[in-house]
Structure formats: C-alpha cells, structure tokens
Structure 1
Amino acid sequence: MQLIREDYLKLLRPYYDVDLIKVITGIRRSGKSVLMETVKDELLSKGVSGSHIISINLEDLDYSFITSIKDMHDEIKSRIVDDQKYYIFLDEIQHLEKFEKLLASLKAKFNCSIFVTGSDSTMLSGELATLLTGRTVEFEVFPFSFKESVDYLELNKIPCNPDDFIKDYIKWGGFPLRFSFREENSIKRFLDNLYSNIVNRDIVKKSSKIDRKAFKNISLYIMSNAGKEFSAENIAAYYSAKNKSSVSARTIYTYLDKLHKSYILHSCKKFNIAGKTALEKADKFYATDTGLRTLNTNTIYYEDTFFLENIIYNELLIQGFTVFTGKTFKGEIDFVAVKEQKKCFIQVAYLLSSEETIKREFGAFEKITDASPKYVLSLDRIDLSHDGIEHLNIVDFLLHKEQLHLS
C-alpha cells in the first residue's frame, strides 16, 4: 500500500487553488510523482472532474512526441474545452528547453492551477526564470523520513521495532522503492542503479566534459564523508594518490556543485554563535539519503555519529528548520536549528556510554552564554538531562514524540 505523505500535503493544500505555480522538487525516486498522484486523488474526491485534470509525465513514452514547449502547449490547449478551472500536472518539466515560457503562457492564457516537478535545483534559476519571479512556490520532497519509513512498514504489515529499525535506516536510508527488497544485496543493487541513473541523466548528460567514472568515484567518496569538514584539496590529493591520475580542487568543487544541483547533497553553513550571524562559507555537506552514503562504505560503524548527524540534519530540514553548524570560540556545536527567528542548539551522539562522552557532549555548550534551548540527542533510553541541557532520545525525536523548543 502507498503511504499518504500527510506532512507534504499539509503544506500543499492551501495552494491547490492559489494562482501560483506549485513547484515540487527533490532527488529522483523520492516520491514526487506519487505525491502528485495523491493531490490529483484529493481533487477528484472534492468533486473536480477528471476531464479538468491534465497530467503529463515527460519520462513516459506515451508523451515522447512532446519535444518542445510548443508541442506541450498544443497538447494542453487541445484538452481545454471550456472556461472552468483546469488542474495541470507536469512531471519532470526541466526536460523541455525554455519551459518557463510555457508555464508563463499557460498561466496568462488559461484558468488553471499548475503543478510541476523537477529533479534539478536550477530549474527555476537563470535568465528565463525572471518570467516567473513571484509566481511560484517551491516544495522540496525528501525520501521517506524515519517516521514515514516506520509508518510505511506498519501500513504494509511488515514487523518493525523502531529501536531496532534505526540501524537499518542509518544504513539503507528511506528511498521508497528500497522497501520493496528484503535482501541487503538487492537494496544495494537498487541504490547503486538509482545513483548511476541520476549521474547519467541529470549530471553527465548535461555536462559532456565530465568523466563519468571519475565523477561517480569522487562523488561517492564525498558522500561517504558527509558531515565531516570539507576540503576539496584533501579529496583531490586522496583521489589522485589512489587512482594514479590527477584531479584538481577546482574539479572537486565543480562536482560538488553538480551534486548539490541534483539534490544529492545539501550544504550546511556555519553560524557564529558569539556574533549571532550566519557565515557565507558552506563548511559541511550532508547526503539527502544515508543509503547513498553506504554505497561507498564497506561496513557501517554505527558509533560514527556522522551517519546519525546526517539523519538529524535531514529531519530538521523536513520539519522546516534552517540549519547551520555552530561555531564557538574554541570549537563547534553540531547544529543550530532556526525557525521564525528563534533557535536552539543541538549535539548528536550515538550513545552516552561513558562519563567522558557525557562530559564531551554536554560540555560543548559550556562557553555559550546564549539562553536559547540546548539539546543532546542520542539513542540512550535513560534521560541524562542536567544543568538546563535537555537530553532527547533520537528515535523518539524522529517519531515526533519529542519536540524542540526555540527561543
């Protein structure tokens, strides 16, 4: 059974009939098309006629005859036969050159509500995007969150103890289709094929100068080290030494940009806690899905908190936070989570299994005079909150049983 992704629908519903183009973005296979199908089902349930819903997927061979914005315009125009409102759904619209002109024309000419999806973060940037300035609202769709994954398994009557499942989720992430497979080899094969597909269709195809093999090897290395302080120079030196072929730091930055634009990675900038300001430099990067990190990791060392950090980072984004790493005078805080000009500070640990670990994680806040709430998140089931610092269980936080408070 399909999971109804209620958190995204809550964001979309107020815009169903608003005169803005709804742009649903995100990495391939994250569930954008299924989400659009759910929106269509809701419109039908509210009495919208099926003849007034126009749905075209540019990756469907049935629409291979559409190769230009004129072809698309003519197809849509032929289906509009009256002055009542039409709901137009266009999947992977970025495949059409100058698609912004098409959307601007449809919006100006017809009584319609437009929904589009795309897997490229630059689809609404550039010169043509000026045509749509102020006319769009964007929603990024992630693979299943931990809570959605648990809900999906329960919906399909697959046994799931969240405290046990967290290790599976750390390793294999939440791409919806990966739950179709039970064997780890099959899951890994699916993820590897998915990643190759993203690289070939969204990156190499658009940049013929990119070496496919080098890009895949370097990008997987970047992802497997997501959350660690980024150094293009170190990555270039590592790759050159291992492969006996040179690659420049500039090339690494080019590859990083491609990963970002394809929604494979998200950047995390620093926040100067003392100065209470965000810094321009993106110091760390996190994978959109931890399953992609696993592709270049032979074994998962669960006490390596970078995997857990990655999951918490994604969850914070899904919950609508703007997220930074926190720069202190002598060190850093894992995350500064900001929403509506309020914030909190977060440290992430696997288990607080020793006095040394407890002191390190709670002590990270020692020099911070800012009164905003401070949290340590770990997998421990014993509440170790003290000195005004709250300790939360990661599984409970991911299941939304625990909420962050901001000030």
Structure 2
Amino acid sequence: MRTIVNNQRKERDLLLSRPYLPRHTKYDVEELLASRQIKLITGPRRTGKSTEALLMLKNRNFAYLNFDDGKLLNAWDDDLVLESLQQVYHGFEYLLLDEVQNLDGWDLWVSKLYRLGVNMVITGSNAKLLSSEMATLLTGRYIQIEMLPFSLSEFFLWNHKSLSDNLSEDEAVAQSLINDYLHFGGYPETVAARSLTQNYLSTLFDSIVWKDIAKRHNVRNVEDLNNLAMYLVSNFCNPFSANELTDALGMSSVATTKKFMGYLREPYLFYYLPRYNNKLKLMKKAPQKVYVVDNGFVAAKAFSLSENLGRLLENQVFIELVRRGFDTERSLFYYRSRNDKETDFVTRRGPHVDSLIQVCYDLASEKTLKREVDSLIECAGELKCQNLLIVTMSEERRIEKNGYVVKVLPINKF
C-alpha cells in the first residue's frame, strides 16, 4: 500500500508542475480551506475537477488519493491506507480524494475521516451518487462546488482575449472565437487542439455511457441505453416525454426509459428542463426539454442532416444559466402560455419569477422578431414578469411594446 501511495504522490507532483488556467468560482479558496466542512467538487468527467482541487491546495501540505487507480482499489484496507498516508505525507493538513465514488462504501469511510477531524477536498463525476449519499451521512457537513466545461469567458481567456474588452476593435477574431465555442464547446482538453475535438468527445461520450453508467448500474441491455443517449444528443433542446421515447426507440417499458434517463443524468451528460407551472403535479406531467452539458458533444455524436445554430445557441445559454447556479429542480424552467406561445427559459428566485429569456440566433427577419417578442410578452403577462431578455448571436437593441421593455443582448454580453 505504501508503494501505491508513493507512486500516487509522484503523479500528484507531476500534475502540480504543469501550467493551468485558473477557473472562475464564486468561492474564496482561503475561506473554503479554513472550513472543516468537506469540499465536494462535482461535475462531468474531464472538466477540470482534479485540477481545481490541486490549484486550491497548491503550496499546502496535502495528501492525495486517486480512486481511478485499480491497484489502490484492489488493495484497499482502511487502516493501512491511513497509516501509509501518514508515512508518505507526514503531518498533512488536507486530504484530496479524487473520483472517490469508485470506492465501494466510500461514504462510510469519508464519514469516519470527518469524525477524525481530517480536512477533505473530494472530487467526483456522479451527481446522484455523491449528493444523495453525502446528504444521508453528512447533512450540513459539506459544501458542493460544481465544475462545468469552460464558459465562453474562460474560453476567451484561454485564447488570451477578454469578453470585457471592446470586441469591436478586433471583431473578426472575436466572432471567430464565439462561433468556434458555439460549435465545439469548452472541454478543457479540446480547446488547445480543435482538430481532435470530435474524436476526443466521441470517445468520452462512449466512455461515460459504457463505463460510468452501464458498468456501474449493471445494465444488461446496453444497446437500448446507448440508443437513448444518441437520440437525446441528436434532439437536444427539444421537448419529449418518456412515453414518446419508449415508442420511438422501441424500449421495453416506460419504467425502463425513465430509469435510463436518470442514469444518463447522473454523470452530468444530460439535463432535463421541466415546464413551469404553479401546480407541481401538472409540472411533473408536462413534457420536459433535454439539454447536453457541452455543445461539443453535439458535433461529435448527434445524427443531424443540417446544422441548427439556434439550438446550439439555446443549449449554450442553458448551460450558462446552470453555471450561474440555477437548477432544474427549483429555479430554472421553460414555459408555454395558454395560447401555446413558448419562452425558452424562466428563472425564479424564491417563490417569484425573476426573468424570462428567449434565445434567437438572428432577429433580422421582421416575422421572426414579431414571433419572439410576442411570445415573450404573452408569457410575461401570464407570469407577471417585467424582466425580459432575448439572447442573440450578435445583435443588441431595446424593444418597447405593449408596456413592456425587451432587452436584446448578444451572447458575449449575456
């Protein structure tokens, strides 16, 4: 065991020696580390959770265990691991547990460490597994930090640009970067090698479906699971119901479809957006809309005969809203009026509707402009909301109609 821990220390030191782009976060690192609460960093695979944890702990005395290591898992012994950590990292102040969900019974072990007073930073790629089990054993004893692929702002910083600069001075370069991000997303390992993006993300997608989901849940009919994943990524931003999916894909039952949908959500691959309704029962019955965690997966895996720039922009806006802390359980929805007019996103703060957001790639057509504005205003009337916004690819203006003011913002200013 000591040899395994020593080898992982060499791995840790090698990772620490590399240059990284610091990520945007609302948390103060010093304040986080001073807290005895467990720091739980979650998010999709390969989005920089381990890097973020390493940057938080850099220049501090911390121990490191990587649970993607089969040798560590096969030789696991609670007491021997703690003994080896003390020998290799004498007097360590913090403990980083990377991809801890791979260890059977990890929650009991983490609970034991917490009682012993160990200050822990944990990373993991399974939302349900981590949050539900942490909530069961360690309610109120952890802080969850969610990591997603690079935002547009971070993508610009990677390319030595800033969204806060006057982009008109170098508009062609800025629009090229925005367009690149729209199509290929922000996975950290793809932004420096765009020619490899589709191959990398195709492999990652398959790995999540076949390894993180099928293997973990002992799925026997993996072909049905994969067909569902491919259908969802090809129909991103569209409404669906479990009954419709079952019929369209020839699934064995609606219950199986719902179960597989849950599995695909766990590793942060897909999000399901409910239709807003004051009555919870009606909201649960309405069709949901599906979004994918990164536009790059669309380019890599979606079966499509034509490019849909509007949906790519909508997906990008959705993920940005999630990045800002809105979630599909309590504060982020879509809405359809009594006359069947739709608003892409409804944000809520507490019990009150905070804003309505429409996404439209191009408002140059008067017909398109009228459709989008009228839908937004009709939904605003029903939801009693005055904060109205249309996000576009590049247009900016202010529209006044029927006593409402609609702000139009380009994606870079949004």
TM class by smaller structure: 0.7 to 0.9
Is 383-392 or 254-263 further displaced after alignment? 383-392
| Matching residue of 2:40 | 23
| Matching residue of 1:402 | none
| Matching residue of 1:149 | 155
- CA 1:90–1:127 in structure 2 vs 1: closer, same or farther (change >3 Å)? closer
Letter in 1 for 2:66: N
For residues 75 and 216 of structure 2, what CA distance do their matches in structure 1 show?
A: 19
| Matching residue of 2:115 | 108
- CA 1:162–1:61 in structure 2 vs 1: closer, same or farther (change >3 Å)? farther
Residue correspondence of structure 1 range 144-293 to structure 2 within 5 A: 144-154=150-160, 161-183=173-195, 186-240=196-250, 247-272=252-277, 279-280=283-284, 283-293=288-298
| Matching residue of 2:409 | 393
Structure 2 residue 106 is the aligned partner of structure 1 residue 99 = yes
**Unaligned 5+ residue runs, structure 2?**
1-18, 162-169
1:88 is matched with which residue: 82, 90, 95? 95
**Unaligned 5+ residue runs, structure 1?**
241-245, 399-407
Q: Normalization by structure 2: what TM-score?
A: 0.81
For residues 68 and 291 of structure 1, what CA distance do their matches in structure 2 show?
A: 40
Q: Could you tell me whether the CA contact under 8 Å between 2:276 and 2:334 is conserved in 1?
A: yes
- CA 1:187–1:359 in structure 2 vs 1: closer, same or farther (change >3 Å)? same
Q: Could you tell me whether the CA contact under 8 Å between 2:356 and 2:385 is conserved in 1?
A: no
Residue correspondence of structure 1 range 325-340 to structure 2 within 5 A: 325-331=334-340, 332-339=342-349
Cα deviation for residue 269 of structure 1 reads 1.9
For residues 65 and 77 of structure 1, what CA distance do their matches in structure 2 show?
A: 20
- CA 1:250–1:38 in structure 2 vs 1: closer, same or farther (change >3 Å)? same
Q: Could you tell me whether the CA contact under 8 Å between 1:272 and 1:327 is conserved in 2?
A: no
For residues 385 and 280 of structure 2, what CA distance do their matches in structure 1 show?
A: 12
Letter in 2 for 1:162: A
Cα deviation for residue 61 of structure 1 reads 6.1
Cα deviation for residue 116 of structure 1 reads 0.3
For residues 234 and 194 of structure 1, what CA distance do their matches in structure 2 show?
A: 27
Q: Could you tell me whether the CA contact under 8 Å between 1:40 and 1:53 is conserved in 2?
A: yes
Q: Could you tell me whether the CA contact under 8 Å between 2:394 and 2:411 is conserved in 1?
A: no
How big is each residue's C-alpha offset from its partner over 1:173-197, in whole Å with a ceiling of 9 and x where there is no partner? 11111123232xx221111111111
Q: Could you tell me whether the CA contact under 8 Å between 1:272 and 1:328 is conserved in 2?
A: no
Aligned-residue identity in percent: 25
1:361 is matched with which residue: 347, 361, 372? 372
Q: Could you tell me whether the CA contact under 8 Å between 1:24 and 1:116 is conserved in 2?
A: yes
1:133 is matched with which residue: 131, 139, 143? 139
For residues 32 and 397 of structure 1, what CA distance do their matches in structure 2 show?
A: 27
For residues 349 and 31 of structure 2, what CA distance do their matches in structure 1 show?
A: 20
- CA 1:276–1:197 in structure 2 vs 1: closer, same or farther (change >3 Å)? closer
Structure 2 residue 45 is the aligned partner of structure 1 residue 35 = no
Q: Could you tell me whether the CA contact under 8 Å between 1:362 and 1:389 is conserved in 2?
A: no
Cα deviation for residue 381 of structure 1 reads 2.7
How big is each residue's C-alpha offset from its partner over 1:17-40, in whole Å with a ceiling of 9 and x where there is no partner? 112111111110111011111111
Q: Could you tell me whether the CA contact under 8 Å between 1:98 and 1:128 is conserved in 2?
A: no
Q: Could you tell me whether the CA contact under 8 Å between 1:351 and 1:379 is conserved in 2?
A: yes
Residue correspondence of structure 1 range 291-330 to structure 2 within 5 A: 291-294=296-299, 295-299=301-305, 301-303=307-309, 305-321=310-326, 322-330=331-339
Letter in 2 for 1:375: L
For residues 46 and 21 of structure 2, what CA distance do their matches in structure 1 show?
A: 14
Cα deviation for residue 338 of structure 1 reads 2.6
Is 338-347 or 144-153 further displaced after alignment? 338-347
How big is each residue's C-alpha offset from its partner over 1:190-248, in whole Å with a ceiling of 9 and x where there is no partner? 111111111222111112233333322320211221221112333333334xxxxx543
| Matching residue of 2:9 | none
Structure 2 residue 66 is the aligned partner of structure 1 residue 57 = yes
Is 139-148 or 365-374 further displaced after alignment? 365-374
Q: How many residues are paired up?
A: 375
For residues 222 and 254 of structure 2, what CA distance do their matches in structure 1 show?
A: 17
For residues 134 and 388 of structure 2, what CA distance do their matches in structure 1 show?
A: 44
- CA 1:351–1:37 in structure 2 vs 1: closer, same or farther (change >3 Å)? same
Q: Could you tell me whether the CA contact under 8 Å between 1:68 and 1:96 is conserved in 2?
A: no
| Matching residue of 1:346 | 357
- CA 1:39–1:251 in structure 2 vs 1: closer, same or farther (change >3 Å)? same
How big is each residue's C-alpha offset from its partner over 1:258-286, in whole Å with a ceiling of 9 and x where there is no partner? 1111110122122237x899934571221
- CA 1:382–1:133 in structure 2 vs 1: closer, same or farther (change >3 Å)? closer
Q: Normalization by structure 1: what TM-score?
A: 0.83
For residues 265 and 356 of structure 2, what CA distance do their matches in structure 1 show?
A: 25
Provide the secondary structure at the position in 2 that maps to 1:89.
strand
For residues 136 and 128 of structure 1, what CA distance do their matches in structure 2 show?
A: 8
